Amino acid sequence: MLQVAYIRAHKNEVVAKLAVKNFDARDIIDALISLDEKRRQTQAEHGDTLANSNKLSKEIGILYKSGNTEEANAKKAQTAELKYRSKQLSQLLSETQKMLHDKLVQIPNIPHESVPKGKSEEDNKVISQEGEIPNLGDHAKPHWELVAEKNIIDFELGVKITGAGFPVYRGKGAKLQRALINYFLDKNIEAGYEEVMPPHLVNEASGFGTGQLPDKEGQMYHVTEDNLYLIPTAEVPVTNIFRDVILKKEDLPVKCTAYTPCFRREAGSYGKDVRGLNRLHQFDKIEIVQIQHPEESYKTLDSMVDHVAGILRELKLPFRILQLCGGDISFTSSLTYDFEVYSTAQDKWLEVSSVSNFESYQTNRLKLRYRDDDKKIKLCHSLNGSSLALPRVLAAIIENYQDANGIRIPEVLIPYCGFDKIE
């Protein structure tokens, strides 16, 4: 969430930058500034009214003590009027603040100056590409055929138990999934991240803190009886560990990693792009989160990108890094890099990670701050990234590592699996 003071001071700049996200902010910002002006005026009048009421109350006490009852009663009548006015102003102030807040949460984060203009994912900028795309000939099979042949992932059984998008992992498929989870966590821990095991459901305050609520796209599963939400990513509970926390400057950066299942309704998803593991309603993901000093956050973003790239290199999967354009970057992000691995059998790139800097957009919602050297309290910056999302990584491994005899296991995963091939 942006700060009102910043919007007031940089109105034209904010409007221009949000246009990169294809968001016309002119009307809503004009309305927000008008509401803020009303809030300021109401707050000032409310303060003056309270001050006058308190002053009169002291004067009334003195008048009664001196025996000037008539004048005291007259001032007492004035006090009653001031108290009534104060109550009116207090209600108006509360209503205005709510209207101001409701406008503020509709405004997306300002994109970084490097974010390119664009309407959709077609306009994203390819930053780099690495790895050799294997030549599997004309007989390469997509992963949904291979897992059925090897009986390692059962999509139909998932439909029976729950519905589409909830696969059942079996035998060596389950072990390979678990191996990937442990491998990703170990790599993150080696890089200095503390592992945490957070809840898989969050309350409204947590969902709001990281920007998932209000849920504009209907992506979250809602447990209505308890008013809780199944997490769409570990980013939500992990970042909320630090909600309403004031950190010491020397404690920065804070680095956390977590494995969780993730739940996304993905409303309106259908067709060939959602076959197999391409798009699921429940999937496993390992997340990395950093809370950083504002002056260091973009260096940190680069280091997180390098970290994810290093993991994909070890898996020997062909991948590319994209900088998201204004039309594809998320509501809350200032700058995002996506990682895509190449699926040989499908002949397409599959997104496996997003690494983002939110600057102070989330931390303002979270009231996540630090105390600087001058003892002043300032907002931190928050960053997160997938390290990594499993379904499409697993799909790419199954497809790219297939041969006539089965599915080979990437060398770095063999110690975690205990086998080198699925036959």
In order of their start, the domains of the chain are 4-104 (1.10.287), 121-422 (3.30.930.10)
Return the DSSP state at 322. E
pLDDT of residue 56: 84
pLDDT of residue 63: 77
Q: How far is Cα 42 from Cα 73, in angstroms, rounded to an integer?
A: 28
Q: How far is Cα 88 from Cα 85, in angstroms, rounded to an integer?
A: 5
| Residue 246, φ and ψ in degrees, nearest 5 | -110, 115
Q: How far is Cα 199 from Cα 195, in angstroms, rounded to an integer?
A: 13
342: three-class secondary structure by DSSP: strand
pLDDT of residue 272: 54
Q: Per DSSP, what are the bridge partners of residue 230?
A: 201
pLDDT of residue 270: 54
pLDDT by residue, tens only, the chain of 423 residues? 999 999 999 999 999 999 999 999 999 999 999 999 999 999 999 999 999 888 888 877 777 778 777 777 777 788 888 888 999 999 999 999 999 999 999 999 999 999 999 999 999 999 999 999 998 887 889 999 999 999 999 999 999 999 999 999 999 999 999 999 999 999 999 999 999 999 999 999 999 999 999 987 889 999 999 999 999 999 999 999 999 999 999 999 999 999 999 999 976 555 556 789 999 999 999 999 999 999 999 999 999 999 999 999 999 999 999 999 999 999 999 999 999 999 988 999 999 999 999 999 999 999 999 999 999 999 999 999 999 999 999 999 999 999 988 999 999 999 999 999 999
Q: How far is Cα 77 from Cα 393, in angstroms, rounded to an integer?
A: 75
Strand 228-230, strand 201-202: pairing: antiparallel
pLDDT of residue 74: 78
Amino acid making up residue 233: T
| Residue 235, φ and ψ in degrees, nearest 5 | -50, -40
